[in-house]
Every structure is written in structure tokens, then in C-alpha cells.
Chain A
Amino acid sequence: MTESYELAVIGGGPAGMEAAVTAAESGVKTALIDNFPDLGGQYYKPLPESFKVKGKTKTEKEADVLVGMVKGLPVTQVRDALVWGIFPDEKHGGWLVALYGPDVPKKIHAQMVVLATGAYDTPVAFPGWTLPGVLTAGATLTLAKTQRVVPGRRALVVGTGPLLLSVAAHLIDAGVEVPAVCEASKPLGKAIPYIFTALGQWGRIEEGAKYISKMVAKGVPYKMGWTIVEARGVDRVEEAVIARLDAGYQPVEGSEQTLAVDTVVAGFHLIPNTGLARLIGCQFEYQLEKGGWVPVRDETLQSSLPGVYIAGDGAGIGGAELARLEGRMAGLAVAVQSGHLTHDQAGSVYARLKPQLAQQRRYARMLGALFTPQPGLSALASDDTLICRCEEITLGEVKAAVAAGARTIGEVKMVTRTGMGNCQGRMCEHGVTNAIVAALAAEKATHQQVGFYSIRPPLHPLPVEVLADAAEDAD
């Protein structure tokens, strides 16, 4: 028998945990699903259970409180579980969530779902970005925080966004030499309209200041308006070339500097992880400053599909605080929709949440305005740079497909095979869409026209037996 819940929350980060807690507190029968062994997600980055830590950082303590709340409630935790599809349950209504993992049911049924799938580093292609030793900001922080491992001895940090400061500070604390931090954006000038928003976020400014002081202590330059133009090496990174960017985010010729490094950490802000929302058919809209394609939601965070809520960075980049509030909001809405709370009961909580949400959204808008990687950065790739890492398709091949008549990302995919590899397009969609839009500049093509990859189950490659088994089940 398939286990049945009123609510399945997918993703055990800040948004997912809050959604599960809020719903369960009102009596909603809730399952919380995550694909890691421990709750926390990419923001809290939990240490493995077998590691014992002597002291905890503020964020780690915050995570403990939240995980403690989940554990104190009748929430069924389904961990180490990959959600590879969500299907409408024709017989009983609601949804069937298909799972794969060492010790999890093959599927569970839920009347409603909250998608809290988070985000990942925007993959920005530059010559040499596929070399071993080039890794994302997220990967670097995961290694340092959850594994206490550093990727190399001398690491260049490039990209855009406040995460770069965190990466640099963690690497420095871990004893890694950081020759430079290259922030592609020039946030200082652009920040002026947001000064009051920023002041409302004093805690975070303090945190940033702590990171910067670690850089200053080691004399690490924070180069604003600079980025990487090439990583070089044979079997791994041996050196990196950086350059100054002009107002259109194009490298200024003659400004190049070559640095001997064994690691390049690339963190070009974040994009929402929207695979599941696309797969089940939620409606999307393009909002560059929220990270690109984001699901359409109403005030209660319900998507265009009834009973499907989307909370946190997976619905548009906004940071952990906003994610937590959105999780609560979605959990509350589910409690109302499932009849556990009346509108009146929910009303007072909603009234408290609303101004907090508004404040965090202002902050999110500021971050987006300051740090969203601008389309100009796509020009870092040259024609022979691989833009689709899995299928090894170059930028030149994408351009050729456009020259031959392809106008949408779907058409480019058909002609070139971009996005058909193991990552399901997660790593190349950003670059391919920007390349198509740029190639069609004369026609004033927009991201809306170019579109996004359609996603079909399985969301991740699965062993054939698992798929065969699922197909049999469906018959």
C-alpha cells in the first residue's frame, strides 16, 4: 500500500523545514522529503552524524533549532530520497511522488505538495571551466563546512554575489591562499538606492564585514568589476587569467593578469532549482533578477496548479530568511486548504508574516539588482568553449544551430543535443539561452521567446531496473 499524506514537502532546507513545521503544528499529516542523509539543505549544510564538532557557528545553531522542531513534531522524515517525478493521482486525487533511494518507499501519495527545492550556483561558462579544479562556490562551502576539506592550496575566487566573501573567508580560515576575489559586478555604485534596505539587514552587513576583515588581514584584494576569462591546465587547473570588465560586462583588452592557482571557485550568484515544478507543469515567467525562469505564484505561494505550493529560492532567489518566511506561509496555506485551520485562525499569523515577507523581498530585490549575473557575462565563453558539459557541445555549435534557423531552446536542443545529458540541462540552460538571445540580438529576441528546456521524468538518471519497475507499476 502506498503511504498517504495530506502534505509532502520536497526539500529539507530552510523553506522546506519551516513549511513542514508550520503545517504539522496545525495537525496536517506531513512527510518531509530530502535527498541528503541529514536535514538542512545547501544553506545550513549539516555535518555528517559521525562528525563531532567542538563549537557551533550561529547558522549551525539556527539549523539545530529548526531540525529540533521538525523532530519534535509528527513529521515523517524521508531522507536520502531522490524525487524523480511527481504525477497526478487520477484515482484518488492529489499527487504521487516517485522516490529513489537506499531505504525509501517507491512512492508516496500526498493531497498537496510544497516544493522547496532551493537553488544552485549559476553555471557561467568560460574557457577552461570544465577543468578539474574549477568548482562552484556551493561545492567549496560544502567541502569546507560539512567535510572539513579544502579543494586546493591556492584558490582564485570569481563570480558575483555576497557568497564570494563567505567562500573567501572560509578558505582563508582553512589555510588556503586566496590571491584575489573577483566580483564581476560593481555593487558599490549600484547600492546607493538600496541603502535603507541594507540598513534593515544589519546582521548580514556585520557578517559580511567579518568576512571582509579576514580578507583584509591576509591582504586579499576584492576586485570589483573583474572576472575570470580563462582557466588553464592539463589535468587540473594550473593557472587562471582574470580581466577587468567594461560597463557591458565585456573583458577589457589589455587588462589581463595571469595567476598561478590550483583551484578556481566560481560562484555567479544563484538560480532557482525548478526541475520538479516544470515537470509537473507549473506555469513560469521570466524574471532576470530572481534568477531567470520562476514559477508563477499567488499570495499564498500556490503555483498555477491547485495544491502545489512553491517556497524559497526554488521560486526565485531571495536568501534563507525569505525562504523561511515563505515556508511558513506555504505551510499555513496548506493548513487552511486542508481544513486544519480556519481563515480566521490563519489570519493573525498571516498578518504577522506579511510585513516580514515584504521586508525580506525588498532585500531580495536589492541582492538581485546588485548581483544578478548580467547577460554580457555569456561572452566570456569563446566559440570553442563547451557550453553543454554533458554532451560536449560548444558555444560555436549553438550559434551554428541558430544561424541554421533554430529560434527556441527546444529547437537548439533537437539540433545539437544540448541539455540531453545526465544533468537534464541544469548546467547549460543558462548559457544556451543567453547564447541564443545574443545570437538573435538583431531580431531583438527575448528569453520569453527562446523559452526553457521542458523537463520529463525521470528528473535524474535512474538505473534501468528502477524505471522498468515503475513502468510496470503504472500499468
Chain B
Amino acid sequence: MRIDHSSSLLPEVTRGKKIQIVVDGNSLDAYEGETVAAAMIAAGIWKFRLTRNHKHPRGVYCGMGICYECLVRVDGVDNVRACMTPVVDGMKVETCKEVEL
């Protein structure tokens, strides 16, 4: 969910330009300046990858690029950290596509 009201701790912001990204074939609204992870979470998508052995779902954990739980495929490139990658208009994101690093 995006926060759309102002509060003392989180004063109102105007987001960057509205753009579209495509996640697993579905178009999502996103705003310039957002990370892929934020845009996905805002849309309620939590399953970012499946683990290698047990195929268990994983999503954002550390949010700062160090745990590698948020790996997705971006424009054909595997194992991209969604929490560290800014959205770009027309970007194609695929979840649960992890191959071994």
C-alpha cells in the first residue's frame, strides 16, 4: 500500500512521474524514484522468488541489499535485487525465476 496522507512523522510527498512496469505479465502503476520492491509491495505482491531446494516463497527481508531474498528477473537479467533497483517505464519483472548465482 502507498501512503497517501500526511502525518507528523511522514509529511506528504509528491512522487515522481507515474509510469508502468510489467510484473509477470501484469501492468502495475509505479512512480519514478520507487524501487521495484516498493512498487511490488504497494501492489500486494509478496512472493519474489522460490528457494532452490524446497521451492519456498521468499520476499523482501532486509530491504537494504544485503540478504538477497528479493531476487527477481528484470528485463531478462536474473538475480536482480528488487530492493536496490529503481523502476523504469516499461520494465519487465518476473518473479520466482531464480537460477543459481
Selecting from A147-155, A181-189, A398-406, the interface stretch reads A147-155
B34-A48 in contact (CB<8A): yes
Residue B21 at the chain A interface, CB threshold 8 Å = no
Residue A37 at the chain B interface, CB threshold 8 Å = yes
A120-B33 in contact (CB<8A): no
B14-A173 in contact (CB<8A): no
B60-A139 in contact (CB<8A): yes
Q: Which residues of chain B have C-beta atoms less than 8 A from A214's C-beta?
A: 9
Q: Which residues of chain A have C-beta atoms less than 8 A from B86's C-beta?
A: 37, 48
Residue B16 at the chain A interface, CB threshold 8 Å = yes
Find the B residue at minimum CB distance from A129.
Answer: B61
Find the A residue at minimum CB distance from B78.
Answer: A463
Q: How many A-B contacts are there with CB distance less than 8 Å?
A: 154
A53-B12 in contact (CB<8A): yes
Contact of A35 among B7, B41, B65 (CB under 8 A): B65
Residue B28 at the chain A interface, CB threshold 8 Å = no
Given contacts A51-B16, A235-B57, A392-B52, contact A120 B3 (CB under 8 A): no
Residue A303 at the chain B interface, CB threshold 8 Å = no
Known: A35-B65, A236-B47. 19 other contacts (CB 8 A): A48-B33, A48-B34, A54-B6, A54-B14, A55-B6, A55-B12, A120-B66, A121-B62, A135-B61, A139-B62, A139-B63, A140-B63, A142-B64, A151-B60, A152-B1, A174-B3, A174-B7, A175-B3, A236-B59
Residue A170 at the chain B interface, CB threshold 8 Å = yes
Tell me the dominant secondary structure on chain A's binding face.
Answer: loop
Residue B25 at the chain A interface, CB threshold 8 Å = no
Q: Which residues of chain A have C-beta atoms less than 8 A from B23's C-beta?
A: none
Contact of A150 among B1, B56, B84 (CB under 8 A): B1
Q: Which residues of chain A have C-beta atoms less than 8 A from B63's C-beta?
A: 135-136, 138-140, 142-143
Residue A145 at the chain B interface, CB threshold 8 Å = yes
B9-A51 in contact (CB<8A): no
Residue A50 at the chain B interface, CB threshold 8 Å = yes
Range of interface residues on B (Cβ < 8 Å): 35 or more
Q: Which residues of chain B have C-beta atoms less than 8 A from A120's C-beta?
A: 62, 64, 66
Given contacts A144-B10, A235-B47, A422-B101, contact A51 B67 (CB under 8 A): no
Top 7 A-B residue pairs of the complex, sorted by shortest distance between their CB atoms? A139-B63, A50-B16, A48-B33, A132-B59, A422-B68, A55-B11, A50-B33
Which residues of chain A from 403 to 447 have any CB-CB distance to chain B below 8 Å in the complex?
A: 421-423, 426-427
Interface residues of B (CB under 8 A from A): 1-3, 5-17, 31-35, 38, 41-42, 46-48, 51-54, 56-69, 71, 79, 83-84, 86, 101
B64-A138 in contact (CB<8A): yes
Give chain B nearest CB distance to A447 CB in angstroms: 22
B9-A148 in contact (CB<8A): no
Find the B residue at minimum CB distance from A426.
Answer: B66
Find the B residue at minimum CB distance from A41.
Answer: B64
A134-B7 in contact (CB<8A): no
Find the A residue at minimum CB distance from B35.
Answer: A147
In the assembled complex, 16 residue pairs joining A and B whose CB atoms fall closer than 8 Å, in A order, are: A35-B84, A42-B64, A48-B34, A50-B31, A50-B33, A120-B62, A132-B59, A135-B61, A138-B64, A144-B10, A149-B2, A149-B34, A235-B57, A392-B53, A423-B67, A423-B68
Give chain B nearest CB distance to A418 CB in angstroms: 14
A461-B47 in contact (CB<8A): no
Find the B residue at minimum CB distance from A52.
Answer: B14
B34-A147 in contact (CB<8A): yes
Range of interface residues on A (Cβ < 8 Å): 35 or more
Contact of A148 among B3, B47, B54, B79 (CB under 8 A): B3
Give chain B nearest CB distance to A49 CB in angstroms: 7
Q: Which residues of chain B have C-beta atoms less than 8 A from A140's C-beta?
A: 63
Residue A47 at the chain B interface, CB threshold 8 Å = yes
Residue A269 at the chain B interface, CB threshold 8 Å = no
Contact of B13 among A47, A151, A273, A392 (CB under 8 A): A47
A51-B33 in contact (CB<8A): yes
Which residues of chain A from 98 to 124 have any CB-CB distance to chain B below 8 Å in the complex?
A: 120-121, 123
For the complex, what is the distance from the CA of A236 to the CA of B33, rounded to whole Å? 26
Give chain A nearest CB distance to B5 CB in angstroms: 7
Q: Which residues of chain B have C-beta atoms less than 8 A from A92's C-beta?
A: none
Find the A residue at minimum CB distance from B33.
Answer: A48
A173-B64 in contact (CB<8A): no
Find the B residue at minimum CB distance from A49.
Answer: B33
For the complex, what is the distance from the CA of A134 to the CA of B67, rounded to whole Å? 13
Residue A130 at the chain B interface, CB threshold 8 Å = yes
Contact of B5 among A136, A175, A426 (CB under 8 A): A175
Find the B residue at minimum CB distance from A137.
Answer: B63
Q: Which residues of chain A have C-beta atoms less than 8 A from B57's C-beta?
A: 131-132, 235-236
Q: Which residues of chain A have C-beta atoms less than 8 A from B64's C-beta?
A: 42, 120, 138-139, 142
A426-B1 in contact (CB<8A): no
Find the A residue at minimum CB distance from B48.
Answer: A132
Find the B residue at minimum CB distance from A56.
Answer: B11
Q: Which residues of chain B have C-beta atoms less than 8 A from A169's C-beta?
A: 9
